Amino acid sequence: MRIAASPTCRLLSTGRRVPAVPARHGPRVVAPFATAVESPTARDVDPAQILRNVRPKLLIDGDFVDAASGKTFPVLDPRTEDVVAQVAEADAADVDRAVGAARRAFDSGPWRKMSGRQRGKVMARMADLLEQRAEEFARIETLDNGKPLAESRAFDVTAVVSHFRYFAGWADKISGKTLQTNGNMFAYTLHEAIGVAGQIIPWNYPLLMLAWKVAPALACGCTVVLKVAEQTPMSALLFGELALEAGLPPGVLNILPGYGPTAGAALASHPGVDKVSFTGSTEVGREVMRAAAGGIKHVSLELGGKSAAIICPDVDLESVVDDTHMALFYNHGQNCCAGSRTYVHESLYDEFVERAVERAQRATVGDPFGDAQIGPLVDSAQFEKVLGYMKAGKAQGAVLRCGGGRAGPKGYYVEPTVFSDVRDEMSIAQEEIFGPVQSIMKWSSVEEVLDRANANPYGLAAGVWTKDLDMANRLSRGLRAGTVWVNCYNYFDDAVPFGGYKMSGFGRDLSEYALNNYMEVKAVVTPLEDPAWI
């Protein structure tokens, strides 16, 4: 039985197609990277104007306050490497204040005791206020992270609005069950808020990761202490203003910009925190688990990935080349689920490589406030890491087909890079690069490609392209990954769970499954006097 391959599948949020980024899929061919790179300062963008409404402080108990130490840290514009703000730097003392506020708000405040419908109304107002200021938030995301403004508008902010509305709808539908027992007993379960949730989010989707963590926690009645990435704190701080304006009680959402070894570690180990949720690298995920272990805290982790994209011999190459390009290069490759191991059947391999190189060479690198499709990486550490993997690929014998170095004289720009003749044991095929580096490998049998795809410590996602339904089912069942996309990639919907196998973590974001991260199940059993009731 055969199935039709879908049209080119773009990153989605609510089951609707996101508008295409300008010039992404057009026929225009640009010059090689050195001349395709725009000047990082070509656009007349004033960071101070974009950040005019952001208070660069800590949000604790409904107030924006300085760090107890008085320290601040710089936030950089990745286009220019210039400092655009100084933000209060949270450490252990501030975590203690924030957890205390969240604890009081949970134990004696109104949020947990509200009806689900009341909580849902507040969350819906948060979504409405965000939607009204969507352009402001989109520009902040692009300034902070470096992603193209068209993507910030079309996906990031749109998805956050949708996500809060989705979980606002869940708030009054959380309920337990009435149970059948063997004895003359009345038994039922309650699904109760777990308590204070400590949440730590990364820098690649700052506002969206906030939504993925905060929305289900609030729907369940939890209170939150959110540690945001030091590279990208600005949109979260502005969102905190909106949450208070929407009617969220003080102490329910506390926001702490700061560093992982200080603020993050203190939050994960704090005795007043009942639940720790972390999205980030596998290496840091281990540290979070260790820190949470002392208090036997509930933990959920969404960690790294090295996702396989498997191309079968019966596909339409033109659309699949575009799909696999987007699977890797979207958001500059700074995606935990990026399809960074591209397995192509041997009958198509040579032609696929040529087309993939041509597709990568059409990707413009430059100012994300313009029409560029790939902006700068987030900071110097990530920039040097990606360049290091490019060097390792060449040193270990992979064939560099395009890219492989810095793009432009200033800013954290790198060239979209394609390697062919990649072997599974190479570091570019085994380790998470988190950058625009595509590794293309050849396969011949289904058993072989499944074994190779699964012979990796990660298991976050995978993609399969085929017109054969039996092949699609066989590969989907055989892949050890939390999400398998068939004839598409990067399809996200509020109702579809997302999370990993193996070292990609455990627990699920998105959908009804995300509520499980923030609930305790209580059983209540009462004897009945009249046995005839049964």
Q: What is the CA radius of gyration of the chain?
A: 24
- 3-state percent breakdown (helix, strand, coil) of the chain, nearest 5: 40, 20, 40
Distance separating alpha carbons of residues 210 and 208, to the nearest angstrom: 5
- The sign of the dihedral angle between the CA atoms of 376, 381, 385, 387 is positive
**Angle in degrees, CA 387, 388, 391, rounded to 5:** 90
Find, among 309, 320, 304, the residue nearest to 463 by Cα.
309
Q: How large is the greatest C-alpha to C-alpha distance in the chain, in angstroms? A: 85
Residue with tokens 């990954």: 481
The closest alpha carbon to 21, from 137, 128, 142, 136, belongs to 142
Residue 208, number of CB atoms within 10 A of its CB: 22
Question: What three-state secondary structure class fits 14?
Answer: strand
Whose CA is closest to 372, among 131, 78, 83?
78
What three-state secondary structure class fits 478? Answer: helix
Alpha helix stretches (DSSP H) within 203-348: 206-220, 234-245, 265-269, 282-293, 317-329
Distance CA 417, CA 91 (A): 38
Residue located via tokens 């200033």: 410
Q: Which residues contact 161 (CB under 8 A, 6 or more apart)?
A: 127, 130, 131, 134
Residue indicated by tokens 């069950």: 177
Taking the alpha carbons at both ends of the chain, their separation in whole angstroms is 51
Residue type (1 letter), 273? V
In terms of Cα–Cα distance, which of 234, 225, 323, 325 is closest to 266? 225
Is 276:292 a contact under the CB 8 Å cutoff? yes
Residue type at position 494: D
22 contacts 150 by C-beta, under 8 angstroms = yes
Q: Name 202's Cβ contacts closer than 8 Å, sequence gap at least 6.
A: 209, 229, 279, 280
Q: Tokens 């689920």 correspond to what residue?
A: 337
CA distance linking residue 505 with residue 305, whole number of Å: 10
Tokens matching residue 388:
């290091």
Q: Which is the catalytic residue, given 89, 136, 302, 415?
A: 302
Query: Shortest CA distance to 307 belongs to which of 431, 393, 417, 421?
Result: 431
Q: Is there a catalytic annotation at residue 302?
A: yes
Q: Token digits for 369?
A: 């406030």
Q: Report angle CA 117, 122, 125 to the nearest 5 degrees.
A: 125
Residues belonging to the active site: 302
